[in-house]
Each structure stands twice: as structure tokens, then as C-alpha cells.
Amino acid sequence: MAYRGPAYGLSAQIANKIAAKRDKQLEAEVLEWIQEILGEALPNGPYEEILKDGVVLCKLMNQLSPGIIKKINTSGGQFKMMENINNFQEAAKKYGVNEIDVFQTVDLWERRNIPQVTQCIMALGRACYIHPEFPGPFLGPKPAEKNEREFTEEQLRAGDTIINLQYGTNKGANQSGLNFGNTRHM
């Protein structure tokens, strides 16, 4: 990891805001869920250190969808470990995680945005609900079913008579204070 030095000004504010979003209890739930899926104990250490090399994430994806990640790099340089993270990201997208929920590699590798990593794993846990072959355990709330509502033509036309607030309002508008016939004095 490259040394970036201390952050000042706007960079420091952004870093502090991202750090404030971390939820230690949610991170513990995520690690517990991963441990249940893998059926093995995770190494001790901070949340981001356990996930940093991508090995645990790749094993998780192979448990959820066997063979989705062909090769897991357990040794080698940082690029090999970052390749694990990239493989996890691609597999998560294939599994059903929306691209907007997937974190960037540097978010985990350089610890830039750990809450985004947690959000991605939570989205992966929710994606498990849409796979009927997956028995559980699940992580996070069950996604809502698509509710295809049917509206009658009369209900659709009723909305045409309502003036949107985006058009503004004429409430309180009057012509008091306007004088017609006065000349403009310069």
C-alpha cells in the first residue's frame, strides 16, 4: 500500500465522514454470516484485515455459487491479492448484486471506504434470497416482491387535473403595490 500521508482540508473532512459511517456491530454480523457460510473460523484481527487479501471473499462466493471463481491466489504480491478482490466483484455481479452496490478495489485494499465494502456484502446477503437453491443463512432483510399495481383509466386521468408543486403556486399573489400610470424616474 502506498503511503499517502495525512489528509488536510476537504480530504480530511471526507475521510472523517466516511470513517463515521462505519458500524462495528454490522461488521461483526457480516463476519459471523461469512463464518457460518464457510463453516470455518475466520482469522482474528480487524474487519478490514480479515477481508483485505480477498481470499475469504472468494471462498464465500465459491460457497454461494460453486466454481464461480476458478482460481484463488493465496500467495504472491499485492497485485495477486487485488486480483482476488476483482474476482469477487465480478462474481458478485454475476450472482445478482447491483453494480452500484459493488465497492472499488481500493476501497478495501487501501482501506479508503470500508462502509462501502460492508454495503456490498450486505447486498450479496440480500441477493441470496433470490436463489431458491440457497438454503441459508441469509444476511439482511428480504427484498420486497415486485408489486405490479394496476390502475384504471379513470384513476390515471384523475392525476391530470392536479397542478404539481414544481410549477409553483399563486398563493398570496396579488397586485397590491403596483401603480399603473406612474413614470419611471431616473
pLDDT over 70 at 182, yes or no:
no
Q: What pLDDT, on the 0 to 100 scale, is given for residue 107?
A: 86
C-beta separation of 36 from 42 below 8 A: no
Tens-digit pLDDT profile for residues 142-176 = 877 777 788 888 888 887 877 776 676 666 666 66
pTM of the predicted protein model: 0.71
Name the least confident of 6-10, 115-119, 131-135, 136-140: 6-10
Q: What pLDDT, on the 0 to 100 scale, is given for residue 90?
A: 93
Name the least confident of 36-45, 47-56, 112-121, 175-184: 175-184
The C-alpha atoms of residue 30 and residue 131 are separated, in whole angstroms, by 19
Q: How confident is the model at residue 94 (pLDDT cuts 50, 70, 90)?
A: very high
Percent of the chain with pLDDT over 70: 85
Q: What pLDDT, on the 0 to 100 scale, is given for residue 173?
A: 64
Tens-digit pLDDT profile for residues 17-47 = 777 777 888 889 999 999 998 888 888 888 8
Q: Which residue has the higher pLDDT, 62 or 144?
A: 62
Domain range list for the chain = 12-129
Residue type, 46: P
Which CATH number does 12-129 carry? 1.10.418.10
Shortest CA distance to 74 belongs to which of 57, 90, 93? Answer: 57
pLDDT over 80 at 178, yes or no:
no
Q: What pLDDT, on the 0 to 100 scale, is given for residue 180?
A: 64
The C-alpha atoms of residue 121 and residue 135 are separated, in whole angstroms, by 18
Q: What is the DSSP string of 22-76?
A: --HHHHHHHHHHHHHHHTSPPPSS-HHHHHTTSHHHHHHHHHHSTTSS-----SS
